[in-house]
Structure 1
Amino acid sequence: MTIRPATFQDIPELKKLLDNSVRGLSKDYYTTSQIDSALKYIFGIDTQLIDDGSYYVVELDGTIAGCGGWSRRKTLYGGDQHKELHDTLLDPTKEPARIRAFFVHPDYARRGIGRKIIELCENEAKKHGFSSLALGATLPGVPLYKAMGFKEVEQIVEPLLDGEKLELVSMIKNI
């Protein structure tokens, strides 16, 4: 297992991974129409994370098997199509860093990929002065985040532009 910073050249492969991950791992939690809508309006690559150097890919056998990252910016979840163009910086003395955009290919699920990326993100956020982490978890991600010490803060129902709604869970962890 190799973990490295994501590059802009990875984006085509990351988009395929994201689609496979959401369709494969969310099918027991969301309807097909919710998944299709979320892929269109929320889930996507946040290129600011790549630009910031805080988004990572995990390679197994030469294949990108997972990705995820952390952010020192205000956006809690969503790709480029879901966020403000200007994503302001957080104050590490008062606000939690964000855990962002975790996706694992279903063929590589339950192999510790998400855990490894979270551990890396925690360490990097600490190096940048943060003492806590926040995230907006999809329902299939909640068990991993709970196992990693995150606590549920609130249930979120995200309205999507086509009328669908997506349930998410706001979570936090002190580091």
Structure 2
Amino acid sequence: MTAIRAAQAADIPAIRSMQERSMRVLGGKHYAPDNIAAFVEQFGTMDFAVVGEGHFLVATDQHGHLLGSGGWSRLAPGYQRGSGAASPPRDIATVRGVFVDPAAARNGIGAAIMRHAEADAAKHGISMLRLTATLSGVALYQALGYRETARRAIELGENLSFGCVDMEKPLEKRAASQPGGELLISQS
């Protein structure tokens, strides 16, 4: 069994390690190592302030080992700051930091995290989730009903860039309440 729960500040070192490993291994099928290294150096895998917002999740196995992460935030991602884009309305949020440990990939963990994050966002009045998908994540988001809005590259300097796909999905409104406790999923 896999448990999905709210991330805590104490989880941040393990989250960072897992995300960087995931980016290098799973992203390595789509990006050159230099591009991944430059992206991680400039932007990291996520802004860990989102953990404090209370909508960032981790998936763990029965022994407490971190298998995945992800959630939503009203904060703009680091790679979008300074772009001149206006702040989105309060009912639009950004999916952030969705990663799965390479050893646990293709077991439904990313999809389960996303379903839980979507339900939580809808309960908090979010009507639209937007995200910037890595090329390795596009298929997951398409399978979950996200539609592509743009393809672009984040310029990293030194003739390096990081291809990505902007996507979005409208959410159905739900009653305003917190999801309770841990969500258990079974792995196939």
TM-score by length of 1: 0.87
RMSD: 1.9
Residue 90 of structure 2, aligned match among 89, 92, 110:
92
Q: 2:78, 2:152 → 1: CA distance?
A: 14
Is structure 2 residue 148 aligned with structure 1 residue 147?
Answer: no
Q: Is the 8 A contact 2:69 2:100 kept in 1?
A: yes
Matches of 1:19 and 1:3 in 2, distance apart? Answer: 20
TM-score by length of 2: 0.82
- The count of corresponding residues between Structure 1 and Structure 2 is 166
* Structure 2 unaligned residues grouped into runs of 5+: 172-188
Match of 1:174 in 2: 170
Q: Is the 1:69–1:117 contact (alpha carbons within 8 Å) kept by the matching residues of 2?
A: yes
SS of residue paired to 2:22: helix
Q: What SS does the aligned partner of 1:114 have?
A: helix
Deviation at 1:78, TM superposition (A): 4.3
Write the mapping of 1:49-88 to structure 2, written as runs, cut at 5 A: 49-61=50-62, 62-73=64-75, 75=76, 77-78=77-78, 83=81
Counterpart secondary structure, 2:113: helix
Deviation at 1:151, TM superposition (A): 0.4
The unaligned stretches of length 5 or more in structure 1 are none
Deviations along 1:116-171, one digit per CA (max 9) or x if unpaired, are: 11111111111111111100000000000000000000011101144410001000
Structure 1 stretches of 4+ with a deviation exceeding 6 A read none
Per-residue deviation, 1:33? 0.6
Checking the alignment, whether the CA contact within 8 Å between 1:78 and 1:101 is kept in structure 2 is no
1:5-24 deviation per Cα after TM superposition (whole angstroms, max 9, x unaligned)? 11111111111101110111
CA contact (8 A) 1:153 1:170 kept: yes
More helix by share: 1
Aligned residue for 1:6? 7
CA distance in 2, matches of 1:99, 1:169: 13
CA distance in structure 1 between the aligned counterparts of 2:52 and 2:21, rounded to whole angstroms:
24
What is the aligned partner in structure 1 of residue 32 from structure 2?
31
Q: How does 1:114-129 map to 2 (within 5 A)?
A: 114-129=110-125
Considering Cα pairs closer than 8 Å and 6+ residues apart, tell me whether 1 or 2 has the greater RCO. 2
Letter in 2 for 1:116: A
Deviation at 1:27, TM superposition (A): 1.1
